Amino acid sequence: MKSQIIPISFLILSVSLILLGYLFYNLFYGTKYESYVFQVNILDAMRNVIESLKNYLQLSLVYSSHQALREHAFAGGMMPAGTWICNGPSPPSVEDSKACLEKYTTYYFNIYFGFYNTSLPVTLTKVNFDSCKYGIDENGALNGKYDEGYFWINCSKGKVSVSSKEAKTYEELETDYYITKNRYWFMFRIFYEWAMANVYGSCICSCCLSCGGESCAQQCAKLAYEDLQNRFNRYGDEVKCKKPEKICLDHQTGGVSCEKGNECLDWEDSQCKCIGHFCEAPKQEWKTSYSPYTKNSSMINKYIMFSDKICEYWVENKLAATHVFTCEDHKYYIPSKKGPVPLTFTVHATAKFRCPDVCRNFMSCKYIKEEDKYICPVCPNNECI
Amino acid sequence: MKAQAEEFFYLAAVFLSIVILIVFLIYQHGTKGKEVMKNVVERNIKEEINSLMFSLFNDRIPIADKYYIEMIIDAVLQKVFEERYKVFYGIGIGTVNVSEIVVPFIGKYVSQDWKLTIITPSATYSYGKDIKGGKEVYSYETLIPLPNEQIGKLEFLVG
């Protein structure tokens, strides 16, 4: 029995020493290591928050850019675009449209950025993106280079920091999106070419010169619509234009002249106005349909009485119209809150002309008994018939 | 002679006990048993989910040139089809069956059962299977942007 005490004591002592060593190892080195692992895990979680944010921003840029493009197309290339035809061609420039797109894309992108949060017990501090840039140049846009998209959008200088009691991490953010299958610049280009050809303005000028009125102006709108549709049809049948909507019609005659005129001048005080292109600060109202115009139509007819012996004279014809031309692209749908929808491009055109001395009218001649002849009262040189 | 043998036997027992104890402690230190195993599995699943999420948000499907997540959201938001796994992208692309694309895509990243749910203000739609009870379930949640400055949520369960 006595001989067993030594090995058993040795066994107990050895086991105690090993356990004590293990205990001390874990207590000092192990705790330190565990705290290191914990910190690494926290940093890892913070990095994951940033990685999730980057994923979120990638999709946010998709929606921001498509929303800006969709709204710009609906408003006519600017926010809001004015009249693309004002007697002559006056479309917005590619650079202006691009600058406005950049402004709105940055605005929407920062809204999405502001929404981002995490359920983890960390503090997120964000600094908005400075700007989003479109990789577009005027020549390319007007020569069809970006007809189907295929350009970069780059948003830069956003900042995020994630902090907790144990650690803090910080990163500068930059998000790129290569936009494809969006035909904003195709629609812009065709409308641009259509506006430059100016079928609408030229036709209304012809109407004015031929003393035409409302029906002639409506005919011009139809002619311009056909020209627009034909221009799209050259590239396929995916773009459908709607019949032009009349926003304003104004027709007046007046003034007397003895000779026929043959020029179209700007009718400055017409009810149909030309409006310049603007890029206003983003606001909620853009989400609904927007038109800078109020509907108004006016038609004033003047009747001239005449008798048996008459002579001709000429009066001024004033004719003005504003129509809205809308086309939808059914080739590629773009994101909206109701799912993918066609891209709708809307453009306003105004022509407002006064054509002095183009409407032929007649008045009764005065009979001069002594000379036995008829004389035209206002235009004595004009023949009485 | 008998006492010597007994002594030798005890020494051997002591030596063996110490070796077993040391081996056990080293193993314990190295793996910390089930807990570490669980952590390792969890870590692997997290990595799988992270790389899946990265691909969902950054890879595009060639047919429509859209990000996978974008297509999933479009399908939930669209009101053209009753089935919220189909989406029409216009004449140039046609109709895409999102389910046929997304389910095998996620299957490449996750070997276990999974369920992906997209929650938007107007609708909710899920892909994958319901995870049966009794299984260890790992979940991943993140905010997702939606068109017109709205946000929704993505939930992903693995079990």
DSSP string, A40-66: HHHHHHHHHHHHHHHHHHHHHHHHHHH
Burial of A96 per CB tally in 10 Å (0-12, 13-18, 19+) = middle
User: Which chain B residues are Cβ-neighbours of A342 within 8 angstroms?
Assistant: 90
CA distance A285 to chain B (A): 13
d(CA A352, CA A87): 6
- Give yes or no for a contact between A164 and A202, defined as CB atoms under 8 angstroms apart: no
- Worst-scoring range by mean pLDDT, A278-287, B13-22, B104-113? A278-287
CA A142 and chain centroid, separation: 17
- Give yes or no for a contact between A260 and A358, defined as CB atoms under 8 angstroms apart: yes
pLDDT of B31 strictly over 70: no
- Give yes or no for a contact between B127 and B38, defined as CB atoms under 8 angstroms apart: no
pLDDT of residue A2: 58
pLDDT of residue A367: 79
Amino acid A366 reads K
pLDDT of residue A188: 97
- Give yes or no for a contact between A374 and A366, defined as CB atoms under 8 angstroms apart: yes
pLDDT of A296 strictly over 50: no
Query: Treating both helix axes as pointing N-terminal to C-terminal, what angle do A214-233 and A199-209 enclose, rounded to 10 degrees?
Result: 160
Task: Tell me if A7 is assigned to some domain.
Answer: no
pLDDT of A219 strictly over 50: yes
Return the residue of A nearest to B81 by Cα. Answer: A339
pLDDT of residue A216: 94
Query: Would you call A55 and B88 a contact, using CB atoms and an 8 Å cutoff?
Result: no
In what helix (H) or strand (E) does residue A124 lie, and over which residues does it extend? strand A123-127
What band does A121 get if pLDDT is binned at 50, 70 and 90?
Answer: confident
Question: Chain B contact for A178, CB < 8 A?
Answer: no
What band does A293 get if pLDDT is binned at 50, 70 and 90?
Answer: very low
Q: Per residue in A163-208, pLDDT tens?
A: 988 788 899 999 999 999 999 999 999 999 999 999 999 999 999 9
User: What is the tally of structural domains in chain A?
Assistant: 1
pTM of the model: 0.83
User: Which chain B residues are Cβ-neighbours of A3 within 8 angstroms?
Assistant: 3, 6-7
In what helix (H) or strand (E) does residue B106 lie, and over which residues does it extend? helix B98-109
In what helix (H) or strand (E) does residue B33 lie, and over which residues does it extend? helix B33-58
Higher pLDDT, A1 or A76: A76
Question: Chain A contact for B137, CB < 8 A?
Answer: no
Task: Tell me if A5 is assigned to some domain.
Answer: no
CB-closest option in B22, B79, B151 to A339 = B79
Tokens of A66: 């498509």
Reduce the DSSP state of residue A12 to 3 states and report it.
Answer: helix
ipTM above 0.95? Answer: no
User: Which chain B residues are Cβ-neighbours of A117 within 8 angstroms?
Assistant: 143
Averaged over A286-308, what is the pLDDT?
40
pLDDT of residue A45: 86
pLDDT of residue B6: 76
d(CA B35, CA B43): 12
pLDDT of A289 strictly over 70: no
Averaged over A232-240, what is the pLDDT?
96
pLDDT of residue B22: 80
DSSP assignment letter at A79 = B
Query: Would you call A340 and B74 a contact, using CB atoms and an 8 Å cutoff?
Result: yes
Range of the domain at A126: 12-385
Question: Chain A contact for B53, CB < 8 A?
Answer: yes
Averaged over B107-136, what is the pLDDT?
87
Task: Tell me if A152 is assigned to some domain.
Answer: yes
DSSP assignment letter at A353 = E
In what helix (H) or strand (E) does residue B140 lie, and over which residues does it extend? strand B138-146
Mean pLDDT score of chain B, rounded to an integer? 86
pLDDT of A301 strictly over 70: no
d(CA A64, CA B135): 40
Question: Chain B contact for A333, CB < 8 A?
Answer: yes
Query: Would you call A330 and B91 a contact, using CB atoms and an 8 Å cutoff?
Result: yes
Question: Chain A contact for B77, CB < 8 A?
Answer: yes
Averaged over A49-66, what is the pLDDT?
95
Question: How far, in Å, are A221, A271, A273, A325 from residue A321 at the CA level?
Answer: 9, 9, 9, 13
Reduce the DSSP state of residue A107 to 3 states and report it.
Answer: helix
**Highest mean predicted confidence (pLDDT) among A31-35, A168-172, A257-261:** A168-172
Domain range summary for chain B, segments of one domain joined by +: 33-158
Tokens of A53: 């944010």
Burial of A176 per CB tally in 10 Å (0-12, 13-18, 19+) = middle
Task: Tell me if A1 is assigned to some domain.
Answer: no
- Give yes or no for a contact between B152 and A341, defined as CB atoms under 8 angstroms apart: no
- Give yes or no for a contact between B97 and B83, defined as CB atoms under 8 angstroms apart: no
Task: Tell me if A3 is assigned to some domain.
Answer: no
pLDDT of residue A7: 67
User: Among residues B89, B144, B153, B155, which one has the least CA distance to residue A63?
Assistant: B144
Question: Chain A contact for B140, CB < 8 A?
Answer: no
Query: Would you call B90 and A337 a contact, using CB atoms and an 8 Å cutoff?
Result: no
pLDDT of residue A41: 81
Burial code of A57-72, b = ≥16 C-beta within 10 A, e = fewer?
bbbbbbbbbbbbbbbb
3-state secondary structure B34-95: HHHHHHHHHHHHHHHHHHHHHHHHHCEECCCCEEHHHHHHHHHHCCCCCCCCEEECCCCCCE
Question: Chain A contact for B48, CB < 8 A?
Answer: no
Mean pLDDT score of chain A, rounded to an integer? 87
CA distance A302 to chain B (A): 52
Query: Would you call B70 and A112 a contact, using CB atoms and an 8 Å cutoff?
Result: no
Interface with B, mutate which of A56, A175, A283, A329 (most B CBs under 10 A): A56
Question: Chain B contact for A55, CB < 8 A?
Answer: yes
